[in-house]
Each structure stands twice: as C-alpha cells, then as structure tokens.
Amino acid sequence: MTVIFSTICAAQLSEVLMLTLSSGSRSDQTAVRFLSEASDSFDSEYDAYKMMNPNPSSNIYTVSDQYYAINALNDKFNEKAVDLHIRAAYQATYTIKAEEIGPFETSWSIHLIDHFLNQEIDLRKVLSYSFEANITDRYNRFSLKFTKSDMTSFLITENSEQLHEDIDQMIYTDQNKIMVSKDNPSTINIYINDLEGQLIAASETSLTTWTFSPNKMGVYVVHVSSNQHNYTKKVMIGKDETE
C-alpha cells in the first residue's frame, strides 16, 4: 500500500482530495491538491512520483506528464480534468473512497467519472464508489473533474433566496443532533454521509430548521444544496456526557 504522507494536512492545505482504492484487505492511495504556486506539470517541491505496488496489490494514481502519487495542480481554473488510472491486480469488487482533507470552497464541485459505465459521481455527496474490475481492464477507465462555479451567480438580490452566508451558523450540532438552519422557507436538499461513504440520510425540505439524530457517535459529512448554493461541512457527534 502506498502511504499518502501526513505532511498533507488540513492545517497547511485547504484544497486536498485523497482517494483510497481498496479490495478486501489491500488498499492504495493517491492525492490531488491545489496550490497557487504549483504548475500542472511536475514540481519537485509539491509532487510525488507513483511507485507501483507489486502483485497482488492494485494501484491508483493520477496521470498527466507523469504518474503521480501526489499531484499538486495550479488552483487558477474554471474546470480541470485529471486522468485517474486504476490497475487491478485480480478480478474483484473494488471501492474508490474519497476523503477531503480540509474543506474545499463551496464554489467547487468534484466528480469521479466512470467512462466505462458512463457514470458521473458527485464526491461531495457520495464519498465512495464500488465497481467490478479485472487485471485485463484498461487503466484509464476513470477521471476526476474539478469545477469552480461562477461566484457572481451567487450575488444576493432583494428577491433571491438566501441561505446563511456563515456555514457554521447553517450546519451545526446540538445535543448530538445534526442541525441545518436557514432564514427563509426556500426548498433545499440535504445529504448526510458517514466517513465510509454510506448515505445516512437524505431530505428535500423547506423547513427553516431541520434536525437529524444519527444512531451512533462519529464524524459525518453534511451537504446542503439549493438552486443557488452548495455547502459541505464535516460535523462530529460526540460521546454521551454521562460517560
């Protein structure tokens, strides 16, 4: 298994996506990060070459001018596609799991594209994707698509719907409940995933305050979307205070 180094940390970098490819007990990782000082070719200060795992371990990595375990890209773009290669070591069901290390700006969308099945997965709503693969499959089955929305379309006008600009006021926890609050009865969609990528709850609601009580402690990813806004935040449901 390739270890993605702990030097990629949320305190230093706010826009990092780490992907884990797993099947059974074997796994591999790759990371894509965005920096204003990085280029889209190899930068010795920020990038790391991919060293292939020997059989029977599989491999996941991104590709441009090189094979990358860690691929640092320039953060000035509207839309950027990144080739994602999978080398299956044996026939099995594989899972690609996404972990966001530090929240991306709400204007970003992140999609995993399966070119073989013609599917596009929103990784800000669904954090894992499972598929069948074999050693004979082509490597370039997948790609990643990063898109920045035009923030001018989010300008608030007198008659427009408005969610709280402060995400901490909109998505929060209270007495081990996940709360989503807004200041008007506009319709929003809410998705809650656990860190394994499983969808825990989904709701289309016009309530000004929506609540959900998870059945266990842990960290959850809350995604809220409307016609004008997309917000994602990780929240923690803590231990019982009586323990």
- Of 188, 172, 92, 189, residue with least CA distance to 135: 92
The two tokens of residue 20 are 């884990």
29 with 74, same domain: the answer is yes
**pTM of the predicted model, to two decimals?**
0.63
Tell me how many domains the chain contains: 2
184 with 126, same domain: the answer is no
pLDDT at 14: 54
In 115-161, the DSSP E strands lie at: 119-122, 128-133, 142-148
Range of the domain at 191: 162-237
117 with 196, same domain: the answer is no
Is 243 part of any domain?
Answer: no
Among 119, 148, 177, the domain boundary falls at 148
The two tokens of residue 144 are 């990643």
Is 176 part of any domain?
Answer: yes
pLDDT at 156: 35
> Cα–Cα distance between 19 and 240 in angstroms, integer?
32
pLDDT grade for 106, boundaries at 50, 70 and 90:
low
pLDDT grade for 187, boundaries at 50, 70 and 90:
confident
